[in-house]
Amino acid sequence: MRVVSGNYKGRSLKAVPGVSTRPTTDKVKEAIFNMVGPYFEGGVALDLFAGSGGLGIEALSRGIERCIFVDRESKAIQTIHKNLEVCHAIEASEVYRNDAERALKAIIKRELQFQLIFLDPPYKQQKLKTLINEISENRLLRKDGFIVTEHGSDIQLPEEIDQLIQLKHETYGMSSITIYRYSHKGEE
């Protein structure tokens, strides 16, 4: 696993030890960033099921100013810290050990908005529709932002969730990527 492009390009990232975390492959990571725009001029990202932190670190490498990493596993948190050190990205990051629902509640209280939100939960424990709905209802995504979900290719997510519409859907073997953004219907 490595950083594909940007300021940290080529840096090797450690995977979370054990079999409970499935890292996003470099090929899928590159495809994701080709879909949402290869580079960014600032903004904040949220990597909600961060694992090794690979998606959030890639976003930082490509111009996101700050990224919040959340995972409930202590081994994942340790791995994220090591990977941030390798990329000298600690100052641009916040890392929390928490589950997704509690983390979202804390983020809602902070009134944060994100340019990019990564949702890559364990394939067997998906609550993607519920999480996306909560993100939309609480306006955690900027109007020009994206929610990037990674899920099993056997999962079909709806075209619309609250005010968000499916922008892209691609399958890579056992994994699928579905990207949402605001529909902008009825916006001034």
Residue 116 inside a domain? The answer is yes
Residue 90 inside a domain? The answer is yes
Report the pLDDT value the prediction gives residue 187, as an integer from 0 to 100.
Answer: 45
> Which CATH number belongs to the domain containing residue 64 in this structure?
3.40.50.150
Kind plus residue range of the DSSP H or E element containing 79: helix 74-86
Q: Which residues pair with 109 in a beta bridge?
A: none
Residue 2 inside a domain? The answer is no
Phi, then psi, of 88 in degrees rounded to 5: 55, 45
**Which residue is associated with the tokens 């694992």?**
51
Residue 21 inside a domain? The answer is no
Query: Two tokens at 88?
Result: 């000298």
Q: Which residues pair with 149 in a beta bridge?
A: 119, 178
Taking the alpha carbons at both ends of the chain, their separation in whole angstroms is 43
Residue 45: alpha-carbon gap to chain centroid? 7
Task: Kindly give the confidence (pLDDT) of every residue in the chain, 188 residues in length, as a single tens digit, with 9 standing for 90 and above.
Answer: 899 999 999 999 999 987 666 677 778 888 899 889 888 999 999 999 999 999 999 999 999 999 999 999 999 999 999 999 999 999 999 999 999 999 999 999 999 999 999 998 876 656 899 999 999 999 999 999 999 999 988 988 999 999 999 999 999 888 899 999 998 654 43
Residue 40 inside a domain? The answer is yes
CA dihedral (6, 8, 12, 15) positive or negative:
negative
- Structurally, the chain folds into a number of domains equal to 1
Residue 84 inside a domain? The answer is yes
Report the pLDDT value the prediction gives residue 185, as an integer from 0 to 100.
Answer: 56
Residue 69 inside a domain? The answer is yes
Q: What type of residue is 133?
A: N
Query: Two tokens at 12?
Result: 């090797």
Report the pLDDT value the prediction gives residue 25, as an integer from 0 to 100.
Answer: 76
The pTM for the full model equals 0.92
Residue 22 inside a domain? The answer is no
* Domain limits for position 148: 28-182
